[in-house]
Amino acid sequence: MAKHVLAFLNRPSPDAPAHAPGAPAFHFADAAAPQLSVLDLGATRGDGIFETISVGYGRPQALEHHLRRFASSARTLALPEPDLDAWRETILAVIGGLEPADESYVKTVMTRGIEGDDKPTGWVYGSPSPDYSRVRKEGIRVVLLDRGYRHDIEATAPWLLAGAKTLSYAVNRAVAREAARREADDVVFVSSDGVLLEGPTSTLVFRRGTQLLTPGTGLGILDGTTQANVFRFAETKGMTTGFELAGPDALLGADAAWLVSSVRLAAPIRAVDGTDLAIDHAFTAELNEYLKGLVE
């Protein structure tokens, strides 16, 4: 077993030729050595998709949801359809090769491949997760940033790839730097017409009384895998869950709020644009234990 495990798929899509005809579905590679061609469109153009899957106590969380979203992103980018059976097999093999840990993650990446070729590149990388215990307990400060387009962008301009999980992350990295300049830890995007959206790498969830809510569907935001499991947990507590088209006032007036994602899990929001927000410590702790131990 190893701390870092890397595997490359031989044929990431049944719609494209194999890299090595007749070879096994995947092969392990040295995670510390260079592996990617400088001509790969994932490196030169950011032309590809990815998913990051939390692994709690050796078990992948929301694996099928992640695979469905992976395939959806591929269709949005007009990439070859991923062979989900091959990807699942490779993911489980990488997890099986990792040293035991309470929390790890695997990242799946598929690019369009080398420019001029017809074979996509695909790999799975596994590693221990960073220690997020402090932010889960103390919370994060967020700022609201304009995403620069209306909330209906998914319908009006589908060519902008809103809602797909792509490798084009320059904007998401830029907003993280902007948050740091404003002495904040993270960002919640707001549409140009004032609708709450999501974080750069997370889904927004907020509580109003016994209701747990997240921004509405069709907003060009990701279909949250962790958010779906947060809702399942809330429902076991007798809470109602739902989607709401809401503005910043809904967040500022919430009883509690979180940014939820696959590896950091549920990070409570303790301030929005400098305005303090209450943290529900007991609910947050119980929720994160549920997410870490989830079996699906």
Task: Evaluate if residue 279 carries a pLDDT over 90.
Answer: yes
CB 231: neighbour CB atoms within 10 A? 19
* Domain 133-292 of CATH type 3.40.50.10320: no
The stretch 120-132 carries a mean pLDDT of: 97
pLDDT at position 7: 98
What letters, b where the CB count within 10 A reaches 16 and e where it falls short, cover 158-178?
eeebbbbbebeeeeeeebbee
Give residue 215's Cα distance to chain centre.
16
Domain-by-domain residue ranges, the chain?
A: 5-128, 133-292
Burial class from Cβ neighbours inside 10 Å (0-12, 13-18, 19+) for residue 93 reads middle
Q: How far apart are CA 202 and CA 225, in angstroms?
A: 10
pLDDT of the residue at 296: 58
Answering whether pTM is above 0.85, one says yes
pLDDT at 293: 85
Q: How far apart are CA 216 and CA 157, in angstroms?
A: 18
5-128: CATH topology? D-amino Acid Aminotransferase; Chain A, domain 1 (3.30.470)
132: closest CA among 288, 282, 276? 288
Give dist(CA 235, CA 62) in Å, integer: 17
- The confidence band for 294, taking pLDDT boundaries of 50, 70 and 90, is confident
C-alpha closest to that of 267 among 291, 232, 241: 291
pLDDT in tens, 155-202: 999 999 988 999 999 999 999 999 999 999 999 999 999 999 999 999
What is the Cα–Cα distance from 108 to 82, expressed in whole angstroms?
A: 11
Bin 161: left if φ > 0, else alpha if -120 < ψ < 50, else beta: left
- The confidence score (pLDDT) of residue 295 equals 60
Average pLDDT on 34-58 reads 96
Closest CA to 137 of 289, 293, 294: 289
Among the listed residues 135, 139, 251, 242, the one whose alpha carbon sits nearest the alpha carbon of residue 190: 251
